Amino acid sequence: MLKQKIVESYFDSKIYSNQEILRSIEETKKEYSKKIVDIDIRLNEFGVYVVTYYFKNKDNIFQKIFIKIKQKAKKNKTVLLQEKSLTYGKLTKDERKKEKIKRRMEKYSGNIYGVYKETRTYRPY
């Protein structure tokens, strides 16, 4: 669940007692009865109680399904990488280097550097 800070209240410690602060917290909880609330109470250096209400978002079923799909995709990706490394591990260091160079040359063999490609379209800035 994600936490989002929604409401923050300030109470002067000289004016408000602990029971009044707790009563105020209960009233605020009743206002937001449908939400899950976490409360943080602290006293700052100026003698003011800072009451912070964190409202949690409920997880959606679809979000959980999406996370599981992502995890499965990540597992499949690692399996594919492992298969690649198994075939790649049979070569020596020099052979691997030559193989990489060969793949790079095949990929960029049709490109001529320093020459613009002719697109026959005009696009002003």
Interatomic CA distance for residues 54 and 4, integer angstroms: 6
Kind and range of the H or E element at 80? helix 61-88
DSSP class of residue 120 equals -
Residue 87: per-residue pLDDT? 54
Terminal C-alpha separation, the chain = 46
Q: Are 48 and 90 in contact (CB under 8 A)?
A: no
Query: What is the mean pLDDT of each successive set of 10 residues along the chain, which is 125 residues long?
Result: 71 88 88 82 90 77 72 65 55 82 74 69 73
> What pLDDT score was predicted for residue 80?
55
Q: What is the pLDDT of residue 62?
A: 66
Q: What is the pLDDT of residue 50?
A: 92
Domain spans of the chain?
3-56, 61-106
